[in-house]
Structure 1
Amino acid sequence: MMSKVYQVLGMMSGTSLDGLDLAHCQIWKEGENWHFELHECKTIGYSADMYEKLKNAIHLSEKEHDQLHAVYGHWLGQQAKMFLEENRLKVDFIASHGHTSHHRPDEGITFQLGDGQVLANVSKEKVVCDFRSLDVTLGGQGAPLVPIGDELLFSDYGFCLNLGGISNISFRKDGKRIAYDIGMANMPLNYLTEKIGMKYDKGGQLARSGKIVPQLLSKLNALEYYRQPYPKSTGYEWFSEKVAPLLDNSRASAEDLLHTVIRHNCGQISLAMRKERSKTNGKMLVTGGGALNGFFVETLQQELGNDCTIHIPSKKIIEYKEALVFALMGVLRLENQINVLGSVTGAKRDSCSGVVFRPQE
């Protein structure tokens, strides 16, 4: 028997700050299996002003942070309304991840900007948001959350790797879904290209032309985070405190720095995979912006060897998988079903997370 077919607008802003992803999704369940279709999708770039505000939100005073929470929620509502009107779409609700300004789960802190009530009022749509906070109160990392989508929508793959600002991996082990943030992906790459006046290194062409900086590679590989056991998650705080100074202090060219970072990223991903490879099948789905970086993908396949094969899906899934999964999480929240896995986050139990807001006049 087929369940209700939900029409959902999924909205996601990642740590790499490359824009707001909007994805109109159809989601339904037949028997025990969940299904989806991705329809209209769009990425809206941030203005220079909004980019700087979001990037520096971690340094704001409490009052300024509250103001940005409301301002960004209003902006999200405007973007959602315009997107739905332009494409003549009707939705049952909006599922919004917001933008993470603070993520220090070990201190019980996580915050996603984008006030859900303001978003609902401006868009005139029901909104489900704030998917991380409950898990953190249950002792979890509040991240990664996408593995519920890997479990329910992409279970044909032994591994699901996302290369966003951060690299995270998801797989089944001993009958449970396990996932964690391995380390970096695009965040340091975008940081480096920004310094030379480029938004990103298209296809990894600059990185491909560079060479390894051995001293930097050693310092990156020695970072303490990599030795921590999972469950674990990381974010911009770790990057700005531990990684950015290593890049800033190097006198190497941009090409060599980009090349070294990709070699480092792929080495760490390969190390993480080797520990688990015998436990599951060797097909790996790769999504996120890094999947469009040809040099990154080629280097990763070289590191992984022949017993793990990378699968790059359609560009739409690469770019909008996270928005899709937050749409799914919203559906599960409204169906009162588990949407955050304690086996992934380290929380004391699974949970049904997300706060529901309805438009107020």
Structure 2
Amino acid sequence: MENYHVIGIMSGTSLDGVDLAYCRFTYNEGNWIYKILNTETVPYSDIWVQRLAGLTEVSAVEIIATDRAYGHYLGELVKAFVDRHQLQVDFVSSHGHTVFHQPQLHITFQVGSGAYLAAAAEAPTVCDFRTLDIALGGQGAPLVPIGDRLLFAEYDFCLNLGGISNISQEGQDRRLAFDISCCNMLLNPLAGQLGMPYDKNGDQARSGSFNQALFDRLNEPSYFSAPSPKSIGKEWADENSLRAIQESKAAVQDKLHTACHHMGYQIAQAVRQHADQQRGKLLLTGGGAFNSFLVEQIRHYLGPTFEVVVPEPELVNFKEALIFAFLGVLRWRQEPNCLQSVTGARHDNCGGAIYWN
């Protein structure tokens, strides 16, 4: 039996904050067992939101400076988290915050320097999980499916509703996974137009009306019918879903309502297209799982043969941080943590850089 105590760090495209999850992983007779021991979400200040959101428009010098500053900031958050809860940590495992993701150009970049993080946290740090897979011809995403396979095997599908919705499932002797559509990165800016950080419970979406023209336009991009492996970045979102939303003359509530229908429809299409049988059990996590109107649309479009499970709030909120902690464990053990069947790389690989403080 082997035990690892790791802090996983996740920052998603929705820019709602930094998730910290202190987890224990036990390897016993070929099986992995996890336990989430402590969690915390640190909301971003307005300054950090503006700085991170604007990184695609600044100079290379400013990007490098932010990479260092953000890594130091994450390290300070870890140090405070450890001190506050008196934690014993083997190492930290950080996703960073994605600025660029254009795998067709061999580009993926997450700010959050592992060296500066390790120095500020005073703990070894694993980071930069995507670059090796990109170098091997893969998408560098999604990364979560290896965790879904080894930690959540009781579910037929694992669906995450973060800034982007993505899904993974076990296929014929291989794991399949891909990004489906924009999610909170579409909904949260709309809620912001109503003076809210997000649409609590989907109440604003529920109050709106369905707009057929917007629904059709949101479903128009060829990405949705393209085969996997495939992934979405902010660049794709800006050109497609966000542009469709911005150019629509519909009321904000109607846009929220229609966007939820669009997401439910595309999720159902993705599940049905890759299901061996038209039934199964689906685990739903990520911030969008708290949007009851969106969850209703997913259930509606999937139909009654699929069971949609929304677990306890801690797992909903921290599953990605948990799995990035686990990816760090696999990297620490020099075992594959990125699947060729998911990303399209030349082979399974063990991605991540390790910094010793």
The question of a shared fold, defined as TM-score above 0.5 by the shorter chain, is answered with: yes
8 Å CA contact 1:9–1:23 kept in 2: the answer is yes
Structure 1 residue ranges without an equivalent (≥5): none
- For 2:54 and 2:147, the matched residues in 1 are separated by 30
Letter matched to residue 101 of structure 1: V
SS in 2 for 1:278: coil
- For 1:174 and 1:225, the matched residues in 2 are separated by 23
Q: Percent identity?
A: 46
- For 1:300 and 1:284, the matched residues in 2 are separated by 11
- For 2:282 and 2:242, the matched residues in 1 are separated by 29
Return 190-199 or 133-142, whichever deviates more.
190-199
Deviation for aligned residue 1:47: 0.6
- For 2:95 and 2:305, the matched residues in 1 are separated by 35
SS in 1 for 2:249: coil
Partner of 2:36: 38
Spell out the pairing of 1:142-161 with structure 2 (5 A cutoff).
142-161=140-159
Partner of 2:323: 325
Deviation for aligned residue 1:131: 0.4
Deviation for aligned residue 1:196: 2.4
SS in 1 for 2:240: helix
Spell out the pairing of 1:257-296 with structure 2 (5 A cutoff).
257-279=255-277, 282-296=280-294
Partner of 1:166: 164
Structure 2 residue ranges without an equivalent (≥5): none
8 Å CA contact 1:286–1:318 kept in 2: the answer is yes
- For 1:17 and 1:221, the matched residues in 2 are separated by 25
1:108 to 83, 92, 106: 106
- For 1:309 and 1:36, the matched residues in 2 are separated by 24
- For 1:121 and 1:281, the matched residues in 2 are separated by 49
Spell out the pairing of 1:49-128 with structure 2 (5 A cutoff).
49-128=47-126
Give per-residue Cα distances to partners, 1:50-103, cap 9 Å, x unaligned.
001111112221111000000101110110100110111110000000000010
Return 240-249 or 346-355, whichever deviates more.
240-249
8 Å CA contact 1:172–1:280 kept in 2: the answer is no
Deviation for aligned residue 1:191: 1.5
1:343 to 330, 341, 346: 341
| TM-score for both structures, normalised by structure 2 | 0.98
- For 1:10 and 1:333, the matched residues in 2 are separated by 13
Letter matched to residue 42 of structure 2: I
Partner of 1:352: 350
Task: Say whether 1:239 aligns with 2:237.
Answer: yes
| TM-score for both structures, normalised by structure 1 | 0.97
- For 2:278 and 2:343, the matched residues in 1 are separated by 20
Deviation for aligned residue 1:275: 1.2
Deviation for aligned residue 1:278: 2.9
Return 123-132 or 278-287, whichever deviates more.
278-287
Deviation for aligned residue 1:13: 0.2
- For 1:84 and 1:180, the matched residues in 2 are separated by 34
8 Å CA contact 1:158–1:281 kept in 2: the answer is no
Q: Aligned residues, how many?
A: 357
Partner of 1:213: 211
SS in 1 for 2:35: strand
8 Å CA contact 1:286–1:310 kept in 2: the answer is yes
